[in-house]
Amino acid sequence: MLVLGIESSCDETGLALYDTEAGLLSHALHSQIAMHREYGGVVPELASRDHIRRALPLTEAVLAQAGKPLSAVDAIAYTQGPGLAGALLVGASVANALAFALGRPVVGVHHLEGHLLSPLLAPDAPDFPFVALLVSGGHTQLMEVRAFGQYAMLGETLDDAAGEAFDKTAKLLGLGYPGGPAISRLAEFGTPGRYDLPRPMKHSGNLDFSFSGLKTAVLTQVRNLGGNVCDQEKADLARGFVDAIVDVLVAKSMAALKQTGMKTLVVAGGVGANTQLREGLNEAARRRGYRVHYPDLAFCTDNGAMIAFAGAMRLKYWPDEADSEYAYTVRPRWDLADIVRGV
């Protein structure tokens, strides 16, 4: 079965072709970072318009890469939510229009399920069951994953997501957008321990997160330093911030593995590409005899490959989810618990 996947939940337009027999055949991605940088963040209306411009050319690109005609597509998967409503509607409209023209079914995919399953696209894909740490600009969650469609929430952020904390802290330090990569690079030049920032909820006794207090602590330090902050002070503060957030994510992840009795941690989402986080998780897991799996760097951020794969698995295990009515809708807010099913 050949599945075309369409991702348009935020500021990346992703298309991909996944074959249930041959695996991932092709993928293409257009990022809107350059367009949104001058505004300091994602502008929803601009994001939607750009998705409209990019969706069909990228569809043609992945078909050409795979050497397949559009008529060879057996089903189309698209991100139905959560995300920006206007952006989601673009992907949903393109998917349903193409499917209607071809007489093929569509399947709406939960964006977080796509991220959860993205490490399974790697050559050394993990086996079920595993604990998943999803860390991105919009989400920070720990989940127990027993099989396809069998997910249970272990803990989540009570306020800011980890990626959001990275972006906001980078802005406080006068760094560019997106802030995550910028603050991580700056932290490499910082002095460890120069700023000992709080580790919110590290010892809370549960697996929930909170990062708003850490962001406030950085703001307090910036104000104490005054208006003219030298580059080394910024690097030291960035190092303190990154060390604090990594410390919490690592501690909670190890606690989740211990609590569930599982031996494998899967990391997904844009923050999963962070070098310091990967080093911290790898070292902590090595000491305890756990294994950590990451998606390819190309699949850490939003992408069409994870949507094509998740859609293909949905259609494989639950053919009843195939929709040929084309009366589509999107779900900007969508609880992952709503898609849990038995295999």
Annotated binding site for Fe cation: 111, 115, 302
Identical fold at 2-116+299-339 and 127-294? Answer: yes
- The tens digit of pLDDT for each residue in 101-152 reads 999 999 999 999 999 999 999 989 999 999 999 998 888 999 999 999 999 9
Q: Assign residue 226 a region: left if phi > 0, alpha if psi is -120 to 50, beta otherwise? A: left
Asked whether the beta carbons of 305 and 5 are under 8 A apart, the reply is: yes
- The tens digit of pLDDT for each residue in 239-285 reads 999 999 999 999 999 999 999 999 999 999 989 889 999 999 999 99
Annotated binding site: 111, 115, 134-138, 167, 180, 274, 302
CATH class of 127-294: alpha beta
Domain spans of the chain? 2-116+299-339, 127-294
Fold for 2-116+299-339, please state it.
Nucleotidyltransferase; domain 5 (3.30.420)
Helix, strand and coil percent figures for the chain, each rounded to 5: 50, 20, 30
- The tens digit of pLDDT for each residue in 9-59 reads 999 999 999 999 999 999 999 999 999 988 888 999 999 999 999 999 999
For the CA atoms of 75, 76, 77, 83, the dihedral, rounded to the nearest 10 degrees, stands at -160
* Six-digit token string for 35: 């367009």
CA–CA gap between residue 43 and residue 251 (Å, rounded): 34
Model's pTM, two decimal places? 0.94
Please say if the pLDDT value at position 343 is more than 70: no
Annotated binding site for substrate: 134-138, 167, 180, 274
Q: What angle do CA 147, 153, 155 make, to 5 degrees?
A: 140
Pick the closest to residue 115 from 89, 90, 143 (CA basis): 143
Q: What is the pLDDT of residue 228?
A: 75
